Amino acid sequence: MSSGTVRASFDGAHCLGGGTDASVYLAEFKNEKVALKVYKKPTLVVSPSTASGHQNPVRSRREDESSTYESLKQKNVMCPFLLSPIEIFEIPEHDGNHMAVVTEYCESNLYSLLVGAEWIHFTPQHKRQIVIELLLAVKQLHEVGIMHRDLKPDNIMFKRHRGTGCLQVKLGDFGYSRQADDAREWTSGVGTATHMAPECLFNFAYGPVPYDFKADVFSLGIIVYACICRCECADMYARMCGSFGF
């Protein structure tokens, strides 16, 4: 797929949503629906000083996402529960190159299911399967040395299986992901506060505190709890944060 081909689709595409640093569009490639994520500009993630007093290098979310996808490709990771990239390329603009990531299209995410009416029809077996697929996705990332660092219902997407028609987990949005062989110490307070492990939140309140893969496991616990109780993670987490003095 050339950038010109995708750009033509992008110009007339429907915007599915976006945030401060990227927008996602519905495009088409080889008669298949795809998601086109366009980073508006290099959004920098400024890491606080490490425990040794040295400043961590500045990194952009687009670099982290591109690096993660490239690492998964090099390590031949073929997990069906991880969102698959189709192509990554640059789009020239007047204010600099914008990175575009083309992935398979997912029709919903866990957040929309939890707040919608459809969730009440999910049986315990359905919920169990969602949790199992999510755990397998994160397990695969950790086994190849990648920490997601922004696990939340919004980033857990679903695509219908062609054979069974059942929803299949597709974990995506690797803009905050980090690789274990990265020389920088993990002290950046990145991610979504309502799903962060306490040691990650400490970076905002008390300064740099190192953390590791267990922070992802903590976020998974919050998500599983939300699936079982169908509650707003923010409400539950607000009470817990209060106990830490945040």
Helix (H, G, I), strand (E, B) or coil at 94: coil
CB 26 within 8 A of CB 105: yes
Cα dihedral across residues 136, 80, 60, 28: positive or negative: negative
Which of these is catalytic: 11, 21, 150, 235?
150
Neighbours of 33 (CB within 10 A): 12
Q: Which segments of the chain does DSSP mark as H helices, in order?
A: 3-11, 61-74, 110-115, 124-143, 198-205, 214-229, 233-243
Cα dihedral across residues 126, 128, 129, 130: positive or negative: positive
Annotated catalytic, 150?
Answer: yes
Tokens coding 228: 């079982």
User: Quick one: how far is CA 132 from the chain centroid?
Assistant: 18
Under 8 Å CB-to-CB from 141, ≥6 apart: which residues? 82, 147, 148, 171, 177, 216
At 241, which helix (H) or strand (E)? helix 233-243
Which residues are annotated as catalytic? 150
